[in-house]
Amino acid sequence: MSEYNQDNKNYEERYMRREERRRQERLKKQKRNRMIIVGGAAAIIIVIVLILVLSVSHCSSCSGNGSAVQTSATEAATAATQPATQKPTEPPVKEIADNGKQGELDENSSLYFWDNKAFELFHSSDESAREYASAINKYKEDLGKDITVYDMVVPNHSEFGLCPREEQRLKTEQNVTSQRQNTTSIYKALSKDVKAVDIYDTLNEHKTEYLYFNTDNNWTGLGAYYAYTTFAKSAGLTPFQLASAEKNTIDGFLGSLYTASESSILKSNPDQVDYYTIPGNYDCRLFTLYDDGPLDVGMYYEGAEAGSSTYGVFCWGDNPLMMIDNVDNTSGQKIAVVKDSNGNAFAPYLAYNYDEVHIIDYRYFEGNLADYCKEHKINNVLFLNGIISANTDSQITAMNTLFEGSGAGDYDLDAQSTEDSTDAPDELYGDSGSDTDTDSGEDYGYDYSGESDSSSDSGEYSDGESGGGYGDVDGGEYGYEGENDYGGDGYDYSGGEYSY
């Protein structure tokens, strides 16, 4: 072999050995890197495990509950996935306590009794809801663009006064209608020019409080106040605080549901009527059915006593028109409240915020509402109805009469008062005592006898067959008789789909 070939061979061997050493070094380096990565990952895992163990140990020592391990891990995972801007979950609404007893339906009165309370069951349809909304939309057109129109529908006690078990039982056995669904259907069908005042959630949040009477179809002064705060928010107003108002109480109220059922349970558990003296200075004028001229009265009938008519403390009962003037308010903002009896406990609160509040009962008011608003420069109108009224054809018919004919009606707000009344005339309020016989009122007395009475004691608006009188359980508030007559309030107990 030549010297050249030998040198070349030695060079190749050296080259191969050098490459082999490099390859071995690369393998060692890769192995070392892998070990570092694996070791680091293992160390991180160990640290995480230690943190979790320490956290779990701490929670377990505080609660003594081994399930805290899963809870802590779940909460940590949830917190990590929630957006930073998410609001905390609101506490659940308190439910009515379950006394474990089963309610009963009274076949004679069609009232449902549970927990020493009487409830009216609600049945209606989306079609009825849309018909009511359509009527309100039409009233807005008739009132014109310069008047802000609001609509409020008041759910009744059965929606908020029963425990969940009883609620479900009534849905299953009595096919009651959801009032949440019904009011939602009404508000959705209102035009964009009508402001819906949805009070459902507000009442639901406070339903464990004394929002409704247990012997009567109306809500309490407290329930009406909560609704007022919701209206104030819708109208951009600041409501007065209830703590700043003086609370007055009348015990021994046995209302329309007691009258309809004559239940001994209700008689043993009468209601109390609370009304609040609102801060401020107010002048009030009242127009009744029995007198042509106005009466100067207080905001409430403070002479109301225990018995069947105690709810008449609010707005002196149901009358064609009452006007409350806030002496200290000269803003020019005036509101008309077109209402059924639920409006009596509600409307006085508005006097705190408005220059004038005109309380109009559509069952008795004589005049064209649009003309009345124009004459008295009223720039806001609230239609307020109980949910049964809102779903009753006869109520819509009665409201329609507000826009028939022309003229503001014979209501001279500046006329000299025919009487300076601090006490209600017997003809207006009747006997507010505890007896419930047919002579409880005179011309416009409250006949709650529950019997067919053609005597003169039953009220001037009696038809001589159905009882008549305000709130009469046979003839209804207008003294109507016949199918689907609800007595102006949806409470005719003589006949009809919702008859009692």
Cα dihedral 424→429→431→436 (10° resolution): -160
Q: Do 281 and 266 lie in a common domain?
A: yes
Nearest Cα to 312, choosing from 118, 470, 443? 470
Q: Are residues 420 and 469 in the same domain?
A: no
Going by C-alpha positions, the residue among 385, 109, 40, 70 that lies closest to residue 227 is 385
302-329 b/e with 16+ CB inside 10 Å = b?
eebbbbbbbbbbbbbbbbbbbbbbbeeb
CA distances from 181 to 12, 188, 264, 422 (A): 93, 10, 34, 44
Structural domains counted in the chain: 2
Residue 80 inside a domain? The answer is no
| Residue 184 sits in the same domain as residue 247 | yes
CB 194 within 8 A of CB 136: yes
Tell me whether residue 95 is in a domain: no
Tell whether 392 and 442 lie within a shared domain: no
H or E segment to which residue 458 belongs: none
Query: Hey, what are 399's tokens?
Result: 């409201």
pLDDT at 338: 98
Q: Choose one of 382, 415, 436: the last residue of a domain.
A: 436
In a 10 Å sphere around its CB, with 0-12 CB exposed, 13-18 middle and 19+ buried, how is residue 397 labelled?
Answer: exposed
185 occurs within a structural domain: yes
Helix (H) or strand (E) holding 427: helix 426-429
In a domain, 6, yes or no: no
Domain edge (last residue) among 421, 436, 451: 436
Strand 111-114 relative to strand 104-105: parallel, antiparallel, unpaired?
Answer: antiparallel
- Quote the domain boundaries for residue 364: 104-436
∠297-239-234 over CA atoms, to 5°?
Answer: 110
One domain for residues 248 and 276: yes
Q: Nearest-CA neighbor of 321 among 349, 354, 292, 350?
A: 292
User: Last residue of a domain, which of 417, 436, 455?
Assistant: 436
The answer on 364 and 241 residing in a single domain is yes
Q: Is residue 48 part of a domain?
A: no
Per-residue model confidence (pLDDT) at position 488: 37
Whole-angstrom distance, CA of residue 359 vs CA of residue 322: 5
Residue 293: per-residue pLDDT: 82
Same domain as 452, residue 432: no
Q: Using CB atoms within 10 Å of the CB of residue 427, give its burial: 0 to 12 exposed, 13 to 18 middle, 19+ buried.
A: middle
First and final CA of the chain: distance in angstroms? 130
Q: What is the pLDDT of residue 437?
A: 32
Whether residue 427 is found in the same domain as residue 443? no
Residue 5 lies in a domain: no
Statement to judge: residues 482 and 404 lie in one domain: no
Distances in Å between the Cα of 198 and the Cα atoms of 155, 188, 354, 381 are: 10, 11, 21, 16
Q: How would DSSP label each residue in 219-284?
A: BPHHHHHHHHHHHHHHHT--PPPGGGSEEEEEEEE--HHHHHH--HHHHTS-EEEEEEE-SS-EEE
Same domain? For 233 and 142 the reply is yes
Q: What is the pLDDT of residue 36?
A: 73
Q: Are residues 476 and 337 in the same domain?
A: no
The answer to whether residues 408 and 488 belong to one domain is no
CA 71 – CA 73 distance, rounded (Å): 6
Per-10-residue mean pLDDT, the chain, length 500? 54 66 68 70 76 60 42 44 51 90 95 98 96 98 98 98 97 96 98 98 98 98 98 98 96 98 97 97 94 90 95 97 97 97 98 98 96 98 97 96 95 83 47 33 30 32 31 33 34 32
